[in-house]
Copies of this chain bind each other. A is one copy, B any other.
Amino acid sequence: MADKLTGACIFGQSGGPTSVINASAYGVIKTALEAPEITQVYGCAHGIVGVLNETLYDLGQEDPFELELLMNTPSSELGSSRYKLSDEKDIARIHEVFEKYNVRYFFYNGGNDSMDTCQKVNDYLARVGYECHVIGVPKTIDNDLCGTDHCPGYGSAAKYIATTVAEIYKDARVYNTGTITIVEIMGRHAGWLAGAAALAGIVGLAPDYIYFPELTFDMETFLRDVEATYNAKNNCIVAVSEGIHYDDGGFVSQSKVSTTDGFGHAQLGGTAAKLAAIVKQKTGAKVRGIELSLLQRCAAHLASQTDIDEAFLAGKTAVESALAGNTGKMVAFVRENANGSYKCGITLQPLSICANNEKKVPREWINESGTNVTQEFIDYALPLIQGERSFKIENGLPRFARLKKIPVIK
């Protein structure tokens, strides 16, 4: 494989957005624009769909000032998709587009489904002998990506959740009448985000119980625990994953029959509202259900500086690794604890171990009763929420990037 492969690159964003996915974009775009081997830096609109339908933006024409604002702009600036490559025809089409624009570098930012896309593209191109370096850049607030210690996007979502739970804790103790508060947190099959609620305990404001999608939810035990705590303290705060489910796998929200996204995942939501109604009926207490909803993944104003820096580094490393001749890899983090303090190292992993797998919270990081995390979880997650970024403000509001997104003429 040539060290000095010269040609264009395409960068795309896929799957659910995060607060820092655009920091990775900036890492890729900036590094690619500075690389002499990369002749053009294209962004594809809405992930792989933009390759298939040839909707490419010429990112070399963007204002560097606006590009830098990507460091604190939430959501996927180029647009995302959940499109799953249907068959070889799709991949042949990608090959066709790559040939047309002499694309020799492909950087794709996403979760496990996106790494599957990367692998299919990489394998196909290798098979047909089209030289192109394909590197995946990890991203997911859920932190369920295998092959990496943790994932860009998780730290900021965790910081948002912990901060918000701390603020809700204060608010929920205002009245003398007593309340039960149920906070619903994202995370379909992995409880990394739900567990992050426990980080509020660092400032003395932890929830009383946390329920994880890794374990079976038992309504009776839940009601008994919540009622006991409420009776003892006149207050109870509960964090629940949206993915909590009964023994038979049925989600507590019972929304599994609703619209599904392109990958067949159930669209959840409404767990907190549902539990609140049940708890209210059982206890007679004032009960409030709060769904943190989209804010977990788009509250860039509360992003973790550690997460932003690492997201940028992941993007930058993807380009540098590809330029060094790597392909079929995902950028990954390795935790290098030096003298007990957190240090994030970086490596490459084969796409195969990242694609389509889900990393769960280890059982031993959840306490015996299954209603809280252990110290190991705290030690793991706490370093990831450190640091606050002072970002560009305009009239008291965050000023996000405004890209021109100039389409490439087909």
The chain A residues found within 8 Å of chain B, CB to CB, are 16-17, 45-46, 49, 73-76, 79-82, 159, 162-164, 166-168, 170-176, 199-200, 202-205, 259, 270, 273, 286, 288, 290-291, 293-295, 297-302, 304, 382, 385-388, 393-400, 402
Contact = CB atoms under 8 A, between A and B. Distances in A.
Contact of A174 (B79, B304, B393): B79
A57 to B, nearest CB: 14
Given A203-B394, A293-B288, A299 B75 contact: no
B79 A164 contact: no
Given A162-B397, A202-B397, A382-B395, A79 B176 contact: yes
Contact of A294 (B82, B290, B297): B290
B304 A396 contact: yes
Contact of A75 (B16, B49, B173): B173
A25 B119 CA distance: 59
A157 B45 CA distance: 35
A380 to B, nearest CB: 14
A113 B164 CA distance: 28
A75 B202 contact: no
Nearest to A16: B174
A82 B168 CA distance: 19
A162 B399 CA distance: 12
**Most chain B CB neighbours (cut-off 10 Å) among A171, A386, A387:** A171
Contacts of A270: 273
B290 A175 contact: no
Contact of A80 (B168, B175, B291, B304): B175
Nearest to A386: B396
B400 A75 contact: no
B298 A301 contact: no
A382 B396 contact: yes
A202 B82 CA distance: 31
Given A176-B49, A288-B294, A295-B164, A170 B396 contact: no
A387 B45 CA distance: 35
Contact of A82 (B16, B175, B203): B175
Given A166-B400, A200-B397, A290-B293, 6 more contacts: A74-B170, A75-B173, A81-B175, A166-B397, A167-B301, A382-B396
